[in-house]
Structure formats: C-alpha cells, structure tokens
A and B are shown apart, each in its own frame.
Chain A
Amino acid sequence: MRSTGEPARAVTLVAALVAAAAVLGLAEAVLLPDLVVPGVRLGLANVPLLIAVVALRARGSLTVALGKTIVVGLATGVLLGPAGLMSAAGCLAAWAAAVTLASARRLTLVGLGIGAASAHVAAQYAAASILAGSTAPLRVLPLALALSVATGSVTGLCAALLANRAPLRLVDPGEEGERPCRTFSEGAAAPGPSF
C-alpha cells in the first residue's frame, strides 16, 4: 500500500534538493574560480542531483535538474540566452548519465559523480562549439574531461557522505508498487560501507 504521506515527502525532497542545487550552483559561480580550464568548476550543484537520482529515480531527479537550471538561470539572468542553453545542456547530460549509470546498479555515488561530471563537461563544450560555430572549444575537451574525473570523484564522495548521514529514504513519486519507500542500503547505486 502506498502511504498517503509519500507524495508530500517526494515534493518536499524535490523542493529541498532544487533549493540546495540552486544555492550551491550560484555560490560556486560567484565564489569559486574555474579549475585550470575556463568553464570547468567543481560542480557542487551535482551533489543534490546525485542524491536525487538515487532517492527519487529518473522522473523526480529530472525535476531537480530542470528546477535547478531554471532557478539559477533566472537568478543570473541567462535563462533564455546562450549561456543558459549551455548550462541546461550540461545539467541534462549530467542527469541522463547519472540515471543511466544508476540503472546498471554497479557503481557507487562516486562513479555516478564521475559519469555525471564528464557528461556535463562534454555536453557543455559541445553546446559551446555549436553556439560559437567552431570546433575550437572542443580542443580543451580532453583536459576538461580529465579534470572532470577528479571533480566528479569529489562531488560523488560529498553526495555519499551526505546520503550516509541524512535521514533520507528512497521515494518513488508517482510509481505504483508494494514498496514505495526503501532505504539507501537496498540500492546498488547507493553508498555502501566502503565509504
């Protein structure tokens, strides 16, 4: 039986993760410099997204990804501009990579973080290349991709540490089933005791 409090729990979790992702994304854009390569940052906003992928599955985490893109785009004034398009491309690619890798049930949150970060970087540089009408931005992609392994490891580790400590449960908003809520320890993609 689905408990009556579950939709409210899902909405609350989505809202909290969107808020966390937006605040982290904005703070990082303002406070932290690029890492060696222009446009490559630590990607702290991916931490809530990774938690959403594990806790909310595909649909709920897509809401978090879109919500973060819209809120940050509105706050920075780039929502409908080229920079907003690059941001959206990166965020959606990160979401797609994390969801795909999570469905394989082999990787931990560190692996999901690495996959999400590399997809984010690749999509962002591809979008930049399309917008600039030149392949020039892709020339720094190898270095950016290598850096994304490190940044993805950091964000994945942060997500794992947070997920291990926060009183979160898996929520499947809108999906029917006998077991609407599960603990993190039941998912293969969830952080295990190896952390």
Chain B
Amino acid sequence: MRLMIQVEGLTKYYGEHAAIRDLAFTIGQGEVIGFLGLNGAGKSTTLKILGCVLLPTAGRVVIDGHDVVSNAHEVRQRIGYLPDVPPLYDEMTVGEYLAYVAQLRGVASRDAASRVGEAEEKTGLREVDGELISTLSHGYRQRVGVAQALVHRPALLILDEPTSGLDPRQIVDMRDVIRGLKGAHTVLVSSHILPEISQTCDRLLIINKGTLVAQGTEDELARKMGGGGSIEVEVRGDRARALEVLAPFGAVDVERAADGVLSLTLRASPEERPRVARALVGAGLELLRLDQGAGQLESIFLRLTHGQEARA
C-alpha cells in the first residue's frame, strides 16, 4: 500500500514541556484512521504539525512524499485541515466562504462554484449555502469546517475533533459525513469520543501523555491486550443448551431471558463471531442477533491510558 503519512521520532516541546515525544507511525493511502487520546494527550499538537500549522522540535513527517518542514508548500496543496475550532468568517455566507477557501487552496475561480457544490453535497450544506455563517447552529458550523477541509479535493483530510460539542443526532450525521469520505480521501480523525472512532475508522492510533501507546485495528488491539472484547448474542431456544454451546468460548453473562429469547454477553474476542454463529446454529438454536460488544474499545482505551498513568 502506498504511504500517505510517515512520521518518525516526532517531538514537540512547548518551553520545557514535551507535548509529544518520539511519535512514529505510518498511514496508507485511502485509510480512515482514528487518533484517540484523552484531552491534553497531544492529539491536536500532532495534527497541527501534520497540517503545517506548527513546526516540530524534532523528528520527521512526510506527507505523500513531501517533508512538512522543507517542502511545506507541496504538503499544503495535498491536505485539508479542520482545527479543533472551525476557522470560519462569520460575516461571510457559507457559499462565499467555501469559494474563498477553494481559491485560497489553488482551485481556479472558474471551478470554484462546482467544487463548492460538491463539498456542500457531501456535508449536507446545500440548503444553507446563502446563509451567513454567524447565523448557523453549532452542528452546521462544524459541517462548514469539514466542507472547507475537503473543498479542494485534498488527498489527505486531517480532522481534529469534528464532533466536538455536537448533540447525539449531529454526531450521527457527522459520522455519516466522515464515512462518506472513505475511498476518495485518506482521513485522519481525532477524537476522545470512543464510539465515534470505533464506528468510523479502519485503524486506531492511541496516544497518551504525548506518546503513542498502541496502534492497530480494534480487534488487533483487543488481542494484544489479552482479548478484552465481548460479543452480544440473541438466540431463541433452550437456555441450558445455549450456555453449554457458548461456554468453551468464554464467560457468559445472561442479560435478559423472556419469551424463549435469550440476550447474552459472551466475554470473547469479536473475531470469534463466525465460530460462535456456526456453533449456535449447529446446536439447533435460532440465532437472532450476533454483534461486537459495545464496550470493547472503551475497555482497551482505559487499560492503555491507565497503564501509562501508572508507569508515569
């Protein structure tokens, strides 16, 4: 896979304080990567460096073959960056603002209108094109922030906390927007809201106190962490038979049993789902639902960040 981002030994000091230390990771073209960490872990600092807003104290960042320090101009043509606070001009309308950003990022003025339309379509901003940014709700302002990052069709999108401050409905909408970007762009999205990352990203980078503590898919991390995952199962049939079939996979918690339907949580890696399904169906039980446990990422994240704090 062609590499979009290569980070080696990335370090940033603010005075005496190291915001990030010796970060190293790579991201392939077309991947959607979740950048996870507690507040103050160093996510925004890392993304600012990748977005050419900040220069590193040490280390090297190469984006699409260009160094962010020695060849920043080339890098800037390939990225779209949404900072933690969307950079909006309140006195402009959405359409004017996006056209301005498109031209600022090298789109010819004759193409700007079509690019603005495209970005508005992707982010659901069509109906507010003529509205002043100052009159928009927080959710729409975040969408405009995402739209400005992608209006020039960058190869890499860097989104810092795109769901920050949104209500649950707006979070779902934003998640759909980010999912819709998959394929056309490489996306690096930071957040401290775990379900958002879990449901949106192919792979995770977890940062704690300025250091990268883990990277991989959710399942890979669960395996590394000693199988912290769970599987949610809903079956119809004999309770004792169901427990007997599931016992070899791990501990079973019965959540609910009513009208012959059992809702269970199986303490096993989500990768076991196909085997669990075959075993239940083979035992003559009617399988109604089989899903990855919701709390897996949360459990991994807490263990990783807690472990780091304990060592510090």
The answer on A and B forming one complex is no
Which B residues contact A (CB, under 8 angstroms)?
none
